[in-house]
Amino acid sequence: MRFGWLEYIIQGIIVLSLIEFALETLPDLSVKQIRMLRYFETGSISIFTVEYVLRILLSRPPKKYSFSFFGLIDLLAILPFYLSLGVDLRSLRAFRLLRLFRILKLARYSHAVQRFHRAFIIAREELLLFGATACIVLYLAAVGIYYCEHAAQPDKFRSIFDSLWWAVATLTTVGYGDIYPITGWGKLFTFVILIVGLGIIAVPTGLVASALSKARQEQEKEASPDRDVG
């Protein structure tokens, strides 16, 4: 609590360093811009390293922090940078993704992660149940559309795996428009599977929402145990 403002600074640097990660992928960067991004990267890693070393030194039982969950996260957030100094530049690409571990550093300050975790525990069984049901609906939708459309569009609905892609894009109502039925039977099947499937696919989303609201009630109950929460 005493170092509250420090935590905000660390969080700010994490967010900036995620933006820097995205900026690096821009195709037409000048040499000057690349150099500036490198400088920022080196600077942010230095700060994370100082933070890591301080946390190790300050943790009361000295080894407690370094083997804790967040200790490992903090290590993983800086390790890729130092490893990349030792190896040649070709394999840098693979290391880049490892740098994303620093997004987990944000979890330390986030109550959302904690609440999602609780909500997941509350609704775990049901999520698995209806998640599996949703997968079966997607599978049946894919098989059905494959038999309706394969003959008419052999290049689009080549196999059940292409049909699965259609099923995912359709039943989540994304509907990119890269693949869609053109035969009468295919369209009729789409209509039926949408009517039946939307309700089933919507169930897990609803479960997450209701479990999150239960998780909040539990947290409020713990915060004020004498008050009765309906």
Which positions from 17 through 56 interact with a second copy, judged by CB under 8 A? 18, 21-22, 25-27
Question: With helix as H, strand as E and coil as C, how does 47-116 read?
Answer: HHHHHHHHHHHHCCCHHHHHCCHHHHHHHHHHHHHHHHHHCCHHHHHHHHHHHHHHHHHHHHHCHHHHHH
- Please say which residue, 50 or 188, places its beta carbon nearer to a second copy: 188
When asked if residue 217 is in the footprint of a second copy (CB under 8 A), the reply is no
Least separation in angstroms between CB 56 and a second copy: 27
Q: In angstroms, rounded to a whole number, what is the distance separating the alpha carbons of residues 222 and 26?
A: 48
Q: In angstroms, rounded to a whole number, what is the distance separating the alpha carbons of residues 67 and 213?
A: 33
When asked if residue 202 is in the footprint of a second copy (CB under 8 A), the reply is yes
Least separation in angstroms between CB 196 and a second copy: 10
Residues of span 138-177 touching a second copy by CB under 8 A? 139-140, 142-143, 146-147, 150, 154, 158-161, 164-165, 168-170, 172-177
When asked if residue 208 is in the footprint of a second copy (CB under 8 A), the reply is yes
H-helix or E-strand spanning residue 165: helix 160-171
Give, as one character, the DSSP assignment of residue 178: S
- Please say which residue, 78 or 164, places its beta carbon nearer to a second copy: 164
Residue 68 phi/psi, 5-degree rounding, is: -80, 170
Least separation in angstroms between CB 47 and a second copy: 21
Q: In angstroms, rounded to a whole number, what is the distance separating the alpha carbons of residues 106 and 109?
A: 6
Least separation in angstroms between CB 53 and a second copy: 27
Q: Interior CA angle at 117 toward 116 and 122, to 5°? A: 95
**CA distances to 19, 79, 222 from 194, in Å:** 38, 47, 42
Least separation in angstroms between CB 66 and a second copy: 26
- Please say which residue, 36 or 200, places its beta carbon nearer to a second copy: 200
Query: How many alpha carbons lie under 13 Å from residue 139 in its C-beta half-sphere?
Result: 6
When asked if residue 183 is in the footprint of a second copy (CB under 8 A), the reply is no
- Segment contacting a second copy (CB under 8 A): 41-49, 58-66, 73-81, 132-140? 132-140
When asked if residue 91 is in the footprint of a second copy (CB under 8 A), the reply is no
Least separation in angstroms between CB 155 and a second copy: 10
- Please say which residue, 77 or 212, places its beta carbon nearer to a second copy: 212
- Please say which residue, 46 or 205, places its beta carbon nearer to a second copy: 205
